[in-house]
Amino acid sequence: MSIKEFLKAELSGWKKFEVIGLSIVFLVIFVNAFIVKDSPIAVVSAVCGILYSTIAGKGKVSCYFFGLAGTFCYSYLSFKNGVYGNLVLYMCYYFPMQVAGIFEWRKHLKDTTKEIIKKELTKQQKLKLVLIASIACIAAILIIKYFNGSSPVFDGITTVLSVFGMYLTVKRCIEQWIIWMIVNGLSTIMWLDLVMKGARTYSTFIMWLVYFILAIYFYVCWRKEISAKQ
């Protein structure tokens, strides 16, 4: 596939209201950053992160390029604000998984739209996922609390669930969006708390809020597509 054909496939399939909504979100982020003098790294992280989440929801491989850029920015913000669980998660897990995702998704593309083929876990797989994730969350909270992290409960739960969420993303499973709803909701609260304490990361808070909304939207979209095939 040539670069021209790749770009054409990646830019296809967008609804008008999706483009308008994305434009409004970016406008809010830039205006907010200018008014409150937000951290430039937080702004870049927010833009890359939202583009990653949106394009991933559209099932396009190009999402991972924005994901990699956002990973470095968010890792810096996590380190600066003492969110160590997220720091380790992004640098040691998200980065290699996003690289793997590029190759994995390219193996499972529809011939017509070049979007990924979505799938769903079995009931047994879902039960196993809930059990393992619950145990891992408890362990992560205790570890982060031991190292005096700023938000051990939120940081621990979001870190563990993000591991599972990223894995399910690479594997193209709809259950990823349920996990992202939880992760994004808790992360929104966590970063709001940091902002209220004086951290200049307003764009990061907006980013997680948008993530939460996108997770709900794309769960509905993927559910409709998967149900139509059954």
Mean pLDDT for back-to-back runs of 10 residues, the chain (230 residues): 64 82 90 83 86 92 91 85 78 91 92 88 94 94 82 82 93 95 89 80 83 94 88
pTM of the model: 0.83
- Give the number of other CB atoms < 10 A from CB of residue 147: 10
Q: Residue 168: what pLDDT? A: 96
For tokens 């390219």, the residue is: 106
DSSP state of 150: S
Q: Residue 58: what pLDDT? A: 92
Q: Residue 4: what pLDDT? A: 65
Could you list the beta-strand ranges (E) of 133-182: none
Q: Residue 98: what pLDDT? A: 93
Number of helices and strands (H, E) in the chain? 10, 0
Instruction: Report d(CA 62, CA 192) in Å as an integer.
Output: 30
Contact 61, 102 (CB under 8 A): yes
Contact 165, 180 (CB under 8 A): yes
Pair of tokens at residue 42: 């937080």
Q: Residue 6: what pLDDT? A: 63
Q: Residue 3: what pLDDT? A: 65
Q: Residue 164: what pLDDT? A: 94
Q: Residue 171: what pLDDT? A: 94
Q: Residue 2: what pLDDT? A: 61
Instruction: Report d(CA 173, CA 176) in Å as an integer.
Output: 6
Q: Residue 46: what pLDDT? A: 84
Helix locations, 11-94, DSSP H: 16-36, 40-57, 63-80, 84-89
Contact 61, 105 (CB under 8 A): yes
What are the residues facing 173 on neighbouring strands? Answer: 119
